[in-house]
Chain A
């Protein structure tokens, strides 16, 4: 509850600072301070179990360790994102305060999506999360690519919202309890009523849109490529993880009893996502576009949690959210400092910026899933969840094979950085020492979580 209230409050404060304060750096420091405070209160709520704010929300929200831990992860990752890329957000355009305010509103939506207990809250959370993102995507107003990305994102987002609402309506119509509460959706055992089956199908399609799972992924590369790079790194991490969190919670609570009926559809979506993401990423020349496709590929791995839907999957999605977000924010942070987004632009980076190249290598290794990095642990949990689930074990083999494919395109960047000669004529951007420090800290965190995943998962059972 703390996170929901405070993110909204700080969002409004930052909007006013954006209007009245003349200083260009003030919004960043208010945002960092506000987010630190929110994070502290969220941790306090998770540890002590009571919130500063007490409202009668009629059980429409649910605050358990699992939900609160996800909020803490989302807030912590965003704080790291502010510390690393705050100066890039300031360069994104003239309305600095508003960008930070919109990110806070997205976080409010993420907190709602993490704690929803009724379909109404799910809908509102998803919308609060998406609408500010449409604006952030189009924040580079003079750039046609940014315009195009914003329009595409908006139309696809609104379309998938319509589909989700139709799914919710069907679930309500077929539900003999006449309730939107996710635990009271009477889906039946054995065969589903027709209305329910359509409801599950529609919601599955719309959530696949939101998390960019194939075959509903086609908007992703264009939007991620067109949006300003700082905002791409935010929306491909925290927001996507929140989408998966909602996916898993809804399917566990509402549709868990008829898992064998929809599991084959999820199986199809998982394999299609892994296939499309990995194979298309191989052919990309631009690193930014390659990362967009790789985020589809990573979504395929996260779909394994929806497929398995057991305790390991729930632990795994938390770990995956942290590991994937840290590594992606790190590599996008590196990308914002490059003049040239093609793979050739990374040539010889190790000689010019040894620390940055090393950190980028750690992030890429983590995204590949090499042992000793957080990416390995999270992929391991996902595969383990799929094995424990017991159905369609061959899916594990398919996923591992695609992880091997992903090594090809991630390692191409590493190879360019270390084994190719730099272009002499280009001058690299000067890096501030705080940026280097943050990169080092993120790389350290990635390795630390890779060795001690209990650092995160321990909080689930404290």
Chain B
């Protein structure tokens, strides 16, 4: 399949994520949108990796171009670590104000 299709699909996913972060007011949904951005990146990295591997094969070069696929694992691990911290922060906030609406957070603006 053409690489352009993957680029377009990832950019659509990524844009949905970015717009969601900027527009939605629920902390959990903002968080899910960030995850969507990361998954768009994962998809595109794997696609690019395959693209480079095919190019290398066409030139009979031994480069497997698997770096990007390893990178995807790192992104998954870091995203998991980020989820654990982020959900803890959201739970902590929920205990104090009993809502996860970010509009509620305006105490610092004075």
| A residues with CB within 8 A of B | 120, 123-124, 127, 131, 134-135, 138, 141-142, 144-145, 147-152, 154-155, 158-159, 161-163, 165-166, 168-169, 172-173, 178-180, 221-222, 225-226
B48 touching A151, Cβ below 8 Å: no
A141 touching B92, Cβ below 8 Å: yes
Number of inter-chain CB pairs below 8 Å: 121
Taking CB atoms, residues of chain B closer than 8 Å to A179 are 67
Taking CB atoms, residues of chain B closer than 8 Å to A158 are 31, 34, 82, 86
B30 touching A155, Cβ below 8 Å: yes
Q: Which of A123, A134, A151, A165 is B27 in contact with, Cβ under 8 Å?
A: A151
- Tell me, in angstroms, the Cα distance from A117 to B90 when the chains sit together: 35
Could you tell me the dominant secondary structure of chain B's interface residues?
Answer: helix
- Tell me, in angstroms, the Cα distance from A135 to B105 when the chains sit together: 18
- Tell me, in angstroms, the Cα distance from A127 to B85 when the chains sit together: 12
B108 touching A134, Cβ below 8 Å: no
Taking CB atoms, residues of chain B closer than 8 Å to A166 are 14, 37, 40-41, 44
> How many Å from the CB of B109 to the closest CB on chain A?
7
**Is B23 part of the contact surface with A, judged by Cβ < 8 Å?**
no
A154 touching B74, Cβ below 8 Å: no
Q: Max chain A CB contacts within 10 Å: which of B34, B74, B102?
A: B34
- Tell me, in angstroms, the Cα distance from A131 to B79 when the chains sit together: 10
Q: Max chain A CB contacts within 10 Å: which of B7, B107, B108?
A: B108
A154 touching B86, Cβ below 8 Å: yes
> How many Å from the CB of A72 to the closest CB on chain B?
27
Taking CB atoms, residues of chain B closer than 8 Å to A169 are 41, 44-45, 48, 68
B108 touching A225, Cβ below 8 Å: yes
| B residues with CB within 8 A of A | 3, 7, 14, 17-18, 21, 27, 30-31, 34, 37-38, 40-41, 44-45, 48, 51-52, 55-56, 63, 65, 67-68, 70-71, 74-75, 78, 81-82, 85-86, 88-90, 92-93, 96-97, 102, 105, 107-109
Q: Which 5 residue pairs spanning A and B have beta carbons closest together? A: A162-B37, A178-B52, A173-B48, A148-B105, A165-B41
A138 touching B92, Cβ below 8 Å: yes
Taking CB atoms, residues of chain B closer than 8 Å to A149 are 108
A155 touching B21, Cβ below 8 Å: yes
Taking CB atoms, residues of chain B closer than 8 Å to A138 are 89, 92
> How many Å from the CB of A180 to the closest CB on chain B?
6
B96 touching A142, Cβ below 8 Å: yes
A131 touching B41, Cβ below 8 Å: no
> How many Å from the CB of B25 to the closest CB on chain A?
12
Taking CB atoms, residues of chain A closer than 8 Å to B107 are 144-145, 148
- Tell me, in angstroms, the Cα distance from A19 to B48 when the chains sit together: 45
Taking CB atoms, residues of chain A closer than 8 Å to B90 are 151
> How many Å from the CB of B36 to the closest CB on chain A?
9
Taking CB atoms, residues of chain A closer than 8 Å to B93 are 147-148, 150-151
With contacts A158-B82, A158-B86, A178-B56 taken as known, whether A222 is within 8 angstroms of B109 at the C-beta atoms is yes
- Tell me, in angstroms, the Cα distance from A179 to B37 when the chains sit together: 22
**Minimal Cβ-Cβ distance residue in B for A120:** B71
With contacts A148-B108, A151-B105, A158-B82 taken as known, whether A178 is within 8 angstroms of B92 at the C-beta atoms is no
Q: Which of A162, A180, A222 is B108 in contact with, Cβ under 8 Å?
A: A222
A127 touching B78, Cβ below 8 Å: yes
With contacts A123-B74, A172-B48, A178-B67 taken as known, whether A145 is within 8 angstroms of B27 at the C-beta atoms is no
